[in-house]
Amino acid sequence: MKLLLYVLLSVFAVSCDAQTKPIRFGKDACAQCRMIISDPRFGAELVTDKGKVFVFDDLNCYWNYRNNKALKAEEIAHSVVVIFNKPGTFKEADQLCFLQSGAIRSPMGSGMAAFDGDSVCKAEEIRLKAVLLSWEGVAERLR
C-alpha cells in the first residue's frame, strides 16, 4: 500500500513539474498559429504553473495566445524567449532586452527579437535602427 502511494505521489509530482523544454525546430508547431517553428533565432515558450508547455514561433503569437486565454501572471511559471544572437537557446524573458525594427524579419511579423546583454542590445539597436524594449514594453506593444 505504501509503495502504491509513493508511486502515485511520484507520478503526480512529475506531472506538475513546471519546467521549460527545448523547442524542436522543424518539428514543433506554434500553439497559436500552428505553423512549424523553423527559425532558431526566434521563438518563445510559456510554461503554466501546472506544468503545461506551449511553444510559439514569434512574440506576436505568444502574446495573442496569452491574451486570448486570459492567463494571469501568477498562472505562468516561465516565459522564455529564444535569443536572436544565440540561435536555439533561450532565457527568461524578463532577463533579456528586445529590439523592434523593420530590419528584423520575424516569422509572424512582429519585427521583434531578443538579445542577451546590454552591450549587445545597444550595438544592435544602432545597427538595426531599432527601438529598444523591455519585456514589459513588448507586452504593451503586442497587447
| Phi, psi for residue 93 in degrees, rounded to 5 | -60, -35
pLDDT tens readout for residues 51-100: 999 999 999 999 999 999 888 889 999 999 999 999 999 999 999 999 99
Q: Give the model's pLDDT for residue 70.
A: 85
Q: Average pLDDT of 3-12?
A: 37
**Mean pLDDT taken over the chain:** 89
Count of domains for the chain:
1
Which structural domain, as residue segments, surrounds residue 35?
2-142
Query: In angstroms, rounded to a whole number, what is the distance separating the alpha carbons of residues 36 and 58?
Result: 11
